[in-house]
Chains A and B, each alone.
Chain A
Amino acid sequence: MNTQYELNKNLAQMLKGGVIMDVTTPKQAQIAEKAGACAVMALERIPADIRAAGGVSRMSDPKMIKSIQQAVSIPVMAKVRIGHFAEAQILQAIEIDYIDESEVLSPADDTFHIDKTKFKVPFVCGAKDLGEALRRISEGASMIRTKGEPGTGDVIQAVRHMRLINQQIKHIQNLREDELFQAAKDLQVSYELAQYVYENGKLPVVNFAAGGIATPADAALMMQLGADGVFVGSGIFKSGNPEKRAQSIVKAVTGYTDASILAQLSEDLGEAMLGINEQEIELLMAQRGI
């Protein structure tokens, strides 16, 4: 792999143990940075509002993203539609730190993802299972996150995806070496990537949890299930006291194994986002792009 790809994987390594927060204005970005976010995701509408508004959802206005880049000193990420390489070219031109090729926006292509190897800027992509994660990596993603179910405040899908990816990794490790060829075929991934998982027992890139995380306890749950860090979207700025909730989630990701710390962090956070259960929603964003 080339040097730029290594540097892009390295940036994701620096984000580990941290919280990446969705923000829609420079003011929210500053609140997030002050609360201890290790990066922000700049977007016009958070997933809960995208879900409520319906219609086609696209890349955010570059002017709005630039105003957030000026407001904070931490890395700034932004989303493009699945397969929309022109949107990605635009974000690269404004020197975004990370592009999220995201199922939260309306997909632009129902067959092809972006060829991310053609870009200098790094990409993070969502995955529900090991096959998806490794396919995105072969397309050039330098960071993976669970898809979860964005904009719901319901953590069940992020849990399902994280557990499944880890179970599938363990399954690969338990195979005989001569069974890897068929395993690669079953996962629809290259032999080399299957072999990497077999030898190392992990993905070749950092893996964050995302989609439905709303409380310090949710964040700690995902960390204990093996996430390298968490994305929090609607959970913060849809809640009663965003500053306090953001700070508590940051500390929960650092102290995720210490229940007495988690108990303190969970106290008196004000109202959590109301959220919706997965059975109550019509649009499953996680089904987009496989």
Chain B
Amino acid sequence: MKKNIGVLAVQGAFAEHINTLKKLDINTIEIRKKSDLTENHIDGIILPGGESTVMGKLINELGMLNSLKKFIQDGLPVFGTCAGLILLAKKITNDDNVYIGTMDIEVKRNAYGRQLGSFHTNGQFAKLGQVPMTFIRAPYIENVSKNVDILAQIDNHIVAAKQNNMIVTSFHPELTSDLNIHKYFLDLI
């Protein structure tokens, strides 16, 4: 049976994730409101890139925050890219907000500065070898707890990590044609 993956679609680059998942023959469900989350069977969820302040505010005010948090705490596989990583972090070092806050990581927002600091590179990702990595006004992870596995580092900063059912990247695999990171996430299911 095909897997059903929910993609949070309140703001940001959700269409790019949906296109990537379609290439992998996955059913996708746009999550725009609480009932999209609770009335569909989903095997995993992607929190895309965008503005974390906007997405964090909307998941709260559209009444999805508690259900999302519960699903993730109960083991639903989740993949957060860029803003999605920020939503999952228990602490943002340069911002007082915490959104879903289920992952034991400390994150710095806009860690590479403004748009002129955005960059593209290739880096080692877990055991997958070199993968393309696009960073757009990206965060990085400053600290992780012992129960978090580091999946990738660039210039000594952590840019990808895994804790149980949660995977995060501060870069955007959905903006490249490389499907390996999405496959890595789908293998969790």
Contact = CB atoms under 8 A, between A and B. Distances in A.
Contacts of B110: 73
B9 interface: yes
A119 to B, nearest CB: 10
Interface of B: 9-16, 32-33, 49-51, 53-54, 57-58, 61-62, 82-83, 95, 109-110, 113-116, 118-120, 134, 136-137, 172, 175
A10 B118 CA distance: 10
Contacts of A33: 53
B109 A18 contact: no
Contacts of B12: 14-18, 38
Contacts of A250: 54, 58
Contacts of B115: 7-8, 11, 75, 95-98, 121-122
A150 to B, nearest CB: 23
A17 B50 contact: yes
A95 B116 contact: yes
17 contacts: A3-B119, A7-B115, A10-B175, A13-B13, A13-B49, A14-B12, A14-B83, A15-B50, A16-B50, A17-B9, A18-B54, A92-B116, A95-B114, A121-B116, A251-B58, A258-B32, A258-B33
Nearest to B174: A13
Contacts of B53: 33, 36, 73-74
A: interface residue count bin: 35 or more
B54 to A, nearest CB: 5
A117 interface: no
A133 B142 CA distance: 41
Nearest to A95: B114
Interface of A: 3, 6-8, 10-11, 13-18, 33, 36-39, 69, 73-75, 92, 95-98, 120-122, 250-251, 253-255, 258, 261
The 6 closest A-B pairs by CB, nearest first: A17-B11, A97-B115, A38-B51, A7-B118, A13-B13, A95-B114
Given A16-B15, A38-B54, A3 B120 contact: yes
Q: Which of B61, B114, B120 has most A Cβ within 10 Å?
A: B114
B15 A73 contact: no
A188 to B, nearest CB: 30
Nearest to B95: A73
B115 to A, nearest CB: 4
A97 B16 contact: no
A277 B134 CA distance: 44
Contacts of A15: 12, 50-51
B10 A254 contact: yes
Nearest to B16: A13
Contacts of A7: 115, 118-120, 134, 136
A75 B117 CA distance: 12
A31 to B, nearest CB: 13
Contacts of B49: 13-14
Contacts of B10: 17, 254
Contacts of A75: 51, 114-115, 137
A95 B113 CA distance: 9
